[in-house]
A = this chain, B = another copy of it.
């Protein structure tokens, strides 16, 4: 509430032309918080405040993609070009890619030559690659420079670089040959030569590498930034740890939503997404999974006689079939996450299958004992036996399906994270019905 009151008063100040007072009120705000404020003010007053902010381009880059587009449409073209020119290059190209073609074409001529070129180059990289998330603002040093000269270069370039804590050493062909941290520079003597203090084993990624590889390298080696190079080893950009954190979070969200059979291909907000977008993200899987359920129905129809003769079987149907689906979902979830974090590789499949078999035997055994007791009280010894055998078989098969599906999907060129709980459940349900009623048909008289 207090925050809303603050926004109300701030809006009032701007409305009445007291822009200086408004600026004072937000003087101590961080860029991320300022972006929140801008998002909550009415567009007209929000624009007034934005244009008056000392670090407007920096704050602007903290707005969400939708908000940036709204502001872009409301700003005069020359002012927009000015702000875009001042934005960090990775944020700038993100915005550019979100604009429709008409706006893109209107914007480009208003930008300076260098920025135009930069946008064109960065926008050319495919979404999901290292190139698409990198920034072109980093400082480079020559190997023959002294530490004192390096400091001079770094100070000079500081306003335009994403980080001054790492400088990359390139040769005359811009090939990456070393990296030196500000920590190392500070601890070195002024007359030492960069070539002698730089680290020559540089961890880097190619522009075409998957963005997840960038995240994994930054996380594994605790890097502040990862240099991005071309096939020829020329340095073209860096990805900083904060952008890597954002990518990691987006990828985790995507996998998480896929695990719940929600189609996830872009950043979106549950709170602000249009109803029809939410509908579209969910309807495909819901309809697709109908076919799995139909298989279960066909299985049931096939064994109508045995069901009619032993109606007690129906009572246990949801329990047996459900347990298989649940065990399978667990296996798939464990496998998908372990693949995503790099804990296991696709080549480990055979080894993991063996372990899974053991775990499934223990789980299936426990469940079989429990369900056979239930069956004994509601039916007889034979029903109890059928239930125990079915439970063991269904849990075993469920686990093996859940564990294998991510690998199968990957082999088919699909994302293993698509092995969602609902998908695994649907497959296990159909299998479970068949196993259960088949075993029942063997042991029980019709």
Contact = CB atoms under 8 A, between A and B. Distances in A.
Given A260-B421, A322-B425, 19 more contacts: A32-B222, A165-B182, A182-B182, A219-B246, A256-B256, A260-B333, A270-B334, A270-B343, A275-B362, A278-B355, A286-B367, A293-B322, A294-B318, A297-B316, A301-B314, A304-B311, A318-B433, A329-B421, A330-B422
A266 B271 CA distance: 31
Contacts of A276: 362
A186 interface: yes
Contact of A352 (B218, B271, B426): B271
Interface string A152-181: 001100100000110000000000000000
B282 A363 contact: yes
A315 B297 contact: yes
A378 to B, nearest CB: 9
A220 B422 CA distance: 33
Q: How many copies does the complex hold?
A: 2
A15 B420 CA distance: 48
Given A249-B219, A260-B330, A422-B421, A319 B290 contact: yes
Interface in A95-124: none
Nearest to A260: B333
A32 B314 contact: no
A59 interface: no
Given A283-B366, A429-B322, A256 B257 contact: no
Contacts of A384: none
A40 interface: no
A326 B422 contact: yes
Interface string A354-384: 0100110011001100110000000000000
Contacts of A249: 219, 248, 252, 341
18 contacts: A30-B221, A155-B187, A164-B186, A249-B252, A259-B260, A260-B332, A261-B330, A270-B335, A270-B352, A271-B338, A286-B323, A289-B322, A290-B367, A296-B318, A296-B319, A318-B430, A421-B421, A422-B425
